[in-house]
Amino acid sequence: MRLLFDVGNSRVKWAIVDAGEIRHSGVLPPGAGTRAAIEAGLDGLPAPDSAAAISVAAPGRIDELASVCREAFGLELEVVCTPTEGGGVQVAYHRPVELGTDRWAAMVGALAHGWLPAIVIDCGTAVTIDLLGEDGRHHGGMILPGLGTMRRSLHAGTHGLPAVSDGALPLLADNTADAIRAGTFHGLAAMIGGLEAVIRRAHGEEPATVITGGDAPALRGHLPGHVEFAPQLVLEGLAHYLDMRDAE
């Protein structure tokens, strides 16, 4: 039984995985609620015998999770870094450490599902788009601002544009707040769809489109063609990598 964490810039997702199957998953609250949330999720399940994490966030959150694993379960938290090759994925970056572990794990997750070749899209604080070939070779990728990042940037970088949260998404708005929501949302969907088309033309393949991340549920219906939605893709990829590694 594995205890796994995906530590992002905005939130921490976690899962209990047994024999490659996610038995429980959720999003952790910060601070004192972390241990209680994990213990509640484990109710009725055997205690985990290992713990691992990937992280693109500041070290403090990992330190907190490591303390919880040690104090609650007597486990040392393994922090997995992006390998040159791992989980069946050959990373394109000359310096693999520069490729976020969430991007690598998402590609491993796509491979584990059999979605090859694939354009793997992760819609979080940043949006990442990566092309994974039929043979597991990573052809590289792109990074662009996520939906919330776009909206915060407009508020912070201008005089008079308000901070906005989720709300109405008209095509053409009749007030400033809705105009920001609509412009950023429809603009991001069009940007992702356009970049997808450019990648397909450049590589002459017909890859599957795989989407994950916090904004994926809202965006997936606005992308062209069939889209594979995998909300746990990063954690599934991490679990697949650890199973492959431990079987060697």
pLDDT digits (tens, 9 = 90+) for 214-224: 999 999 999 99
> Is the distance from CB of 4 to CB of 52 less than 8 angstroms?
yes
Q: Angle 65-44-18 (CA atoms, 0-180°, nearest 5)?
A: 65
| Residue 37, pLDDT above cutoff 90 | no
Please report the DSSP string for 9-44 in residue order.
SS-EEEEEEETTEEEEEEEEPSTTHHHHHHHHHTTT
* Predicted local confidence at residue 55, as pLDDT: 94
Q: Which architecture does CATH list for 2-79? A: 2-Layer Sandwich (3.30)
pLDDT value at residue 30: 64
Domain with CATH 3.30.420.40 in the chain: 2-79, 85-231
Query: Residue type for 218, please?
Result: A
CB atoms within 10 A of CB 76: 11
pTM summary value: 0.94
- Write the pLDDT tens digit of every residue in 97-117: 999 999 999 999 999 999 999
Is omega for the bond preceding 117 within 30 degrees of 0, making it cis? yes
Please identify every residue annotated as catalytic: 102
List pLDDT tens digits, range 47-92: 899 999 999 987 888 998 999 899 889 999 999 999 999 999 999 9
Multiple choice CATH, 85-231, 3.40.50.970, 2.60.120.10, 3.30.420.40, 3.40.50.150? 3.30.420.40
**Angle between helix 147-157 and 176-203 (nearest 10):** 130
Smallest CA-to-CA distance from 243 within 88, 56, 122 is with: 88
Burial pattern 18-46, b for ≥16 Cβ within 10 A else e, equals eeeeebbbeebeeeeebbebbeebbeeee
Which conformational region is residue 136 in: left (phi greater than 0), alpha (psi within -120 to 50 degrees), or beta?
left
